Structure formats: C-alpha cells, structure tokens
Amino acid sequence: MRNYNKDDGSPKCSLKVGLMKAFDTVEWDFLLETLYAFRVPSKVINWNKAHITTPKFFISINGELFGFFHSKRGLHQGHPMSPYLFVIAMELLTKLLAKHIQDSPHYKYHWKCNKIKLSHLCFADDLIMLCHGSTPSATILKMSHDDFSSLSGLKVNPAKSNIFLSSVPNDSRQQLINIFGYNVGSLPIRYLGIPIISSKLSHLDCSPLLVKVSNRISSWMNRCLSYVSRLQLII
C-alpha cells in the first residue's frame, strides 16, 4: 500500500475483507462441486466428503453435555485437510473476479497491478482486494464477491472489514464507501503477520515477525530435531 499517505497520483482502493465464521459456513455441495470442477479424482472427493460430513458435535449447558448431532455445513477446524479445502473453495473467487474483469470494459486495476493482473491476495480466510479508485472498478469487486458469497455460503463481516482510499476525489470517495459498506481504515494494518504501511518496510517493522519465527524454530530444534536435522533446517 505504497504512497497511500499521499493525495496525488492514481486513485487507489484497497479492501481488507473479514469473512464471517469462515470455516464454519462453507457449503458442502459447493465445495464438492468445486472439487469436481478442478477434476479431482472421484476417490479423493469421496474421502474428503467423508471427512467433512461425518463429524458429530455436542454442546455443554451448565456443565452437562448434550448431543451428539450432525452439522450441515462447514469445515472441521484443526483437521489437516481443512485449510487445503478452504483454499480450493476460495479459488472460485479468483475465477469469478477474472471473468467479471474480462467482461467489463470499464474495470481498471489498482496502481502498479495491471502488469501482473492483480486484483486480490488470499491466504485461507485472510483476503485483501485491490482496484482502481473508481466506481466501475469497485462495483466489479463487489459483484464478484456477492456472487461468490451466494454460491459458497461465505459472507462478509462488515464490522471486521475496512476500505482504504488514496488520491480519490471527494465526490467519488463516499460512493466507494457506500458500495461496500465498510468502515474507512487507517494504516498500519497487519496481513499474515506482516505490517502493511504506506512507506518502505524497515527491519524494525518486521522485527516482531522475525522474533516469532526465530522462537518457533528454536522450539523445534530443542524438542524435535537431531543435530543433523538442525543443520538441514538452517541450510
């Protein structure tokens, strides 16, 4: 989000989108159809169907357990396959965005994003969307996400979503805010542990993440890895 602190240059619009109970709301039929569309072998699809549809749950009321009962949608958090399945589900958003952008002659990419055709960044349920700071471009993003939500069951949580604008004229600024209904955010924010700021990242900006990674590696080495494995990890 370079130069978002400046009022000159190309109009820019970025969105930090918070999904509402992301893993808990994925529609099973949608996910299985997506796996079929990606030509995943039927045997693998059946394995994953068993994984997502067979878990049972109970609830605790005043310390007493009641259940078990089946769920009707969602992915089991903590299962090693769930993040992969969620990423596959989110891939449909990429396809929808690409189609709507291709079909729209008025869409403009975010500043510095046209060459690589970048419209969004997504890692599991951490989603950032980018476009030119104009109404037609923002409308394409909104339409794509609305279509994706209706198919997948994944809804936006406006209270946990923000819009960031730079160099957008005052008469267009409120229009963009109204399209999405998000609060106007301010920098810095964090995405996947990395601070997002309007200037070049410094060593100080990244130091909390570096310390976290270093501590995690030290924990692995102390508990799990032999001396040879430690050398391999460093290499």
pLDDT of 161 higher than 80: yes
Top pLDDT among 168 and 67 is at: 168
Q: What is the pLDDT of residues 75-87, one digit of tens each?
A: 877 778 888 888 8
Q: What's the mean pLDDT in 223-229?
A: 61
Q: Is the pLDDT of residue 21 over 60?
A: yes
- % of the chain beyond a pLDDT of 90: 45
Which tops the pLDDT comparison, 107 or 80?
107
- pLDDT (average), residues 149-171: 91
> Do 167 and 155 touch, CB atoms closer than 8 A?
no
- pTM here? 0.77
Does residue 30 have a pLDDT over 80?
yes
Over residues 15-22, mean pLDDT = 88
Tell me the average pLDDT across 7-29: 88
Q: Which residues pair with 15 in a beta bridge?
A: 129, 163
For the ranges 68-82, 95-109, 131-145, 160-174, the lowest mean pLDDT is seen at 68-82
Q: CB–CB of 228/221 below 8 Å?
A: no
Q: Which of 196-200's residues contact partners 24+ apart within 8 Å by CB, and which partners?
A: 196/1, 197/1, 198/1, 198/2, 198/3, 198/4, 198/5, 198/6, 199/2, 199/5, 200/2
Query: What totals of helices (H) and strands (E) does the chain contain, helices first?
Result: 7, 9
What is the average pLDDT score of the chain? 85
pLDDT attached to residue 131: 96
CB 13 within 8 Å of CB 107 = no
